């Protein structure tokens, strides 16, 4: 196996490890019906997020590595658009998702009782919309990687 093929192999496994759990992060916490269940769901979500971060970093590194070994990729529209969309999706985390998840995390720590406050539903709806938008970006990237349309 050549180094390039090994890099492709790692790149594909990184996508599975990183994006697979990423697509279910929202679903995991939607099942909580009490604060206890929500706290547990968010704890699971945080553990899954570690895989998303590791996979995401490996995806970026191996994707750029593939481009360095095969510089023709930098002249392919599908590669460039995928790279730009991936960088945009990475930026969404700290710029969009973090500020929207911070009040929810605080609520999970400070709320007394097992009832879920109404404010949670408003905050989570906004967070989940942004997460679904990011997932849509990843679906576009995966489609571009598979089809290589231009």
Ranges assigned E (strand) in 1-150? none
Distance, in Å, from the CA atom of 77 to the CA atom of 34, rounded to the nearest integer, reads 47
* Contact indicator for 25, 131 with CB cutoff of 8 Å: yes
Joined together, the tokens standing for residue 42 give 């968010």
pLDDT at 1: 76
Q: What is the pLDDT of residues 73-101, one digit of tens each?
A: 999 999 999 999 999 999 999 999 999 99
For the whole model, what pTM was predicted? 0.89
Q: What is the pLDDT of residues 39-67, one digit of tens each?
A: 999 999 999 999 999 999 999 999 999 99
Residue identified by tokens 């679906």 is: 139
């Amino acid at each position: 196996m050549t180094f390039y093929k090994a890099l492709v192999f790692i790149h594909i496994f990184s996508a599975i490890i990183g994006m697979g759990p990423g697509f279910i992060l929202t679903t995991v916490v939607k099942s909580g019906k009490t604060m206890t269940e929500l706290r547990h769901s968010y704890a699971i979500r945080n553990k899954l997020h570690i895989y998303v971060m590791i996979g995401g970093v490996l995806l970026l590194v191996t994707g750029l590595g593939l481009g360095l070994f095969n510089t023709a990729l930098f002249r392919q529209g599908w590669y460039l658009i995928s790279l730009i969309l991936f960088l945009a999706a990475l930026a969404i985390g700290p710029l969009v998702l973090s500020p929207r998840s911070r009040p929810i995390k605080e609520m999970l720590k400070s709320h007394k009782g097992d009832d879920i406050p109404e404010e949670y539903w408003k905050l989570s709806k906004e967070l989940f919309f942004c997460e679904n938008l990011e997932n849509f970006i990843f679906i576009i990237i995966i489609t571009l990687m598979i089809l290589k349309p231009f």
